[in-house]
């Protein structure tokens, strides 16, 4: 297998890890005011992701760094053409991170509610915009012969991309609700379980529509298989949630998100950013990549450090594996 293909797959894995892990973070943030009916319950929700949310964001930072080093043409075109939506995502993530840190600095209800709104907005906006961005990558964007984006911001707000944003939002909220049902006890767990079942139906309908539309735009045999498996995983997760098997339900929604993202990358390959102007203008794993020597060095670095990161993050989740309830929150 060529190193360009290896790094395409590795970047896909990094984004899969990001959407699976940060996905439930976004879902918890969006549901903060819905499932948390008082300050103590909202603190329970925040504490379920408190030890892991910042570690989960490392996945997208690593994905961006890998894209910059392995496919600099892809990185340059993506971050210049999608400048505004990616800037909005960055601002939202910064605001959400500040809100987590500052919410408890003052014992004032109005102060906390303002930061709660920041957590909500900082989770909602990226949950939508990541779907819009990836849908546009799969659909293709106007690129000229120099591989530069020649469209405008509103070119990105097409019906297919907006459906992608609705799909990621619904999937992340479902994933987050199931995570809360898995990590909490008492009334919060009961409400999360019920809400996951309701939102899950919306997520299933949106995901099926989006994946079918995606395969009509760009497809491959592997992408079709992955799309079917993603649908089955989501149905299995929702059925497990219905019988209160939250562990299996979480595995189901995590697998559904992972397989759906893998489906998009499989449909995209060997392109990394198709052009809607002319096929010759498209960026591929070949014309967007770094030199073979650069890819070789990066591969050895990844072989050494990736297992260390995975072991550390896995250990973090194991340490903070227990359920939380309002009785664990001091007055």
**Is the pLDDT assigned to residue 288 strictly greater than 80?**
yes
The beta-strand segments (E) located in 120-224 are none
- The residue-averaged pLDDT of 155-179 equals 95
Beta strands 271-273 and 283-284, pairing class: antiparallel
Q: What is the pLDDT of residues 52-97, one digit of tens each?
A: 988 899 899 999 999 999 999 999 999 888 999 999 999 999 999 9
Question: pLDDT, tens digit, for every residue of 22-48?
Answer: 999 999 999 999 998 888 999 999 999
Separation of CA 69 from chain center: 22
Residue 211 pLDDT: 94
Q: What distance separates the 2 farthest-apart alpha carbons in the chain?
A: 63
Q: Helices 72-81 & 53-70, crossing angle to 10 degrees?
A: 120
State how far the Cα of 228 lies from the Cα of 218, in Å rounded to an integer. Answer: 15
- At CA 50, angle to CA 45 and CA 52, rounded to 5? 120
Question: What confidence category does residue 221 fall into, taking pLDDT thresholds of 50, 70 and 90?
Answer: very high
Show the domains of the chain with their CATH numbers.
3-291 (1.20.1630.10)
Q: How far apart are CA 229 and CA 285, in angstroms?
A: 26
Model pLDDT for residues 229-272, shown as the tens digit of each residue: 999 999 999 999 999 999 999 999 999 999 999 999 999 999 99
Angle at 204 between CA 198 and CA 209, to 5 degrees: 140
The Cα–Cα gap between 185 and 327 comes to 10
**pLDDT band for position 324 (cuts 50, 70, 90):** confident
pLDDT bracket for residue 200 (50, 70, 90): very high
Asked whether residue 1 carries a pLDDT value surpassing 70, the answer given is no
Show the CA angle centred on residue 17, arms to residues 271 and 73, nearest 5°.
30
Q: Is residue 107 within a helix (H) or strand (E), and if so which, with residue range? A: none
The answer, yes or no, to whether residue 2 has pLDDT greater than 90, is no
- Contact criterion met (CB below 8 Å) for 329 and 45: no
């Amino acid at each position: 297998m060529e190193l360009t293909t290896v790094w395409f797959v590795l970047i896909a894995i990094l984004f899969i890890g990001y959407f699976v892990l940060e996905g439930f973070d976004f879902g918890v943030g969006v549901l903060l005011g819905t499932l948390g009916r008082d300050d103590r319950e909202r603190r329970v929700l925040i504490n379920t992701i408190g030890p892991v949310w910042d570690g989960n964001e490392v996945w997208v930072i690593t994905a961006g760094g890998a894209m910059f080093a392995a496919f600099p043409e892809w990185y340059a075109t993506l971050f210049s053409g999608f400048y505004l939506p990616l800037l909005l995502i960055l601002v939202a993530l910064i605001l959400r991170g500040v809100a987590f840190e500052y919410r408890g600095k003052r014992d004032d209800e109005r102060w906390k509610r303002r930061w709660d709104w920041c957590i909500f907005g900082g989770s909602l906006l990226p949950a939508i915009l990541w779907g819009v961005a990836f849908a546009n990558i799969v659909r293709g964007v106007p690129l000229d012969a120099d591989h530069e984006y020649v469209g405008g911001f509103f070119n990105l707000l097409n019906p297919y991309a907006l459906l992608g944003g609705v799909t990621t939002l619904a999937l992340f909220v479902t994933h987050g609700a199931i995570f809360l049902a898995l990590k909490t006890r008492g009334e919060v767990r009961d409400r999360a379980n019920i809400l996951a079942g309701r939102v899950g139906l919306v997520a299933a309908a949106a995901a099926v529509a989006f994946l079918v539309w995606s395969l009509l735009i760009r497809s491959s045999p592997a992408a079709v298989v992955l799309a079917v498996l993603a649908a089955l995983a989501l149905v299995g997760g929702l059925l497990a949630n219905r019988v209160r098997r939250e562990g299996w339900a979480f595995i189901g929604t995590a697998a559904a998100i992972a397989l759906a993202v893998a489906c998009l990358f499989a449909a995209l390959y060997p392109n990394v950013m198709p052009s809607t102007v002319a096929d010759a203008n498209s960026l591929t794993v070949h014309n967007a990549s770094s030199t073979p020597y650069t890819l070789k060095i990066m591969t050895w670095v990844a072989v050494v450090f990736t297992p260390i990161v995975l072991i550390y993050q896995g250990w973090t989740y194991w340490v903070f594996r227990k359920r939380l309830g309002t009785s664990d929150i001091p007055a």
